[in-house]
Amino acid sequence: MGSATTVQSGSTKTFLWVCMGPVLIFLIVVAVAPLTLALIDSFRELSMTSLTKRGAFIGLDNYRDLIGKDSHFYGAILHTAILMAIAVPLEFVFGLLIALWINCKAPVLCATS
């Protein structure tokens, strides 16, 4: 059995890119740019009192201080792991139940009249 492929015309592809353009720009502005700036700033010495000044490049010193000297770091990692271990399965189960309810494939979830 062969699979059918659809060929899109040039105007259809252009239309799709025009529709996706604003979404891609929005994602770059809202997600990618701040994440990139945060990553770059993590390698600099920054002062919280003057966030407009770019600090000197210090390499991995911030990460060494975080792992070696910060007493709250490992507790925060543990709390994050516990939260993830509870939240992800719950979200999966509730999302699956909602999807089954909307699709109404499970007779238990469907309202009978």
* Alpha-carbon gap, residue 93 to 99, rounded angstroms: 10
pLDDT at 25: 94
Rg over alpha carbons for the chain, rounded to the nearest Å, is 24
Q: Which stretches of 1-113 are DSSP H helices?
A: 10-27, 33-41, 61-68, 73-103
Report the C-alpha gap between 89 and 24 in whole angstroms.
30
- Residue 47, pLDDT score: 78
pLDDT of residue 23: 94
CA distance 44 to 58: 5
For the chain, the first-to-last Cα distance in angstroms comes to 42
User: What is the rounded distance in angstroms from the CA atom of residue 62 to the CA atom of residue 81?
Assistant: 22
What is the amino acid identity at position 89? P
pTM of the model as a whole: 0.56
* Mean pLDDT split into 10-residue runs, the chain, 113 residues: 63 89 94 92 84 82 89 93 98 93 72 60
CA distance 73 to 75: 5
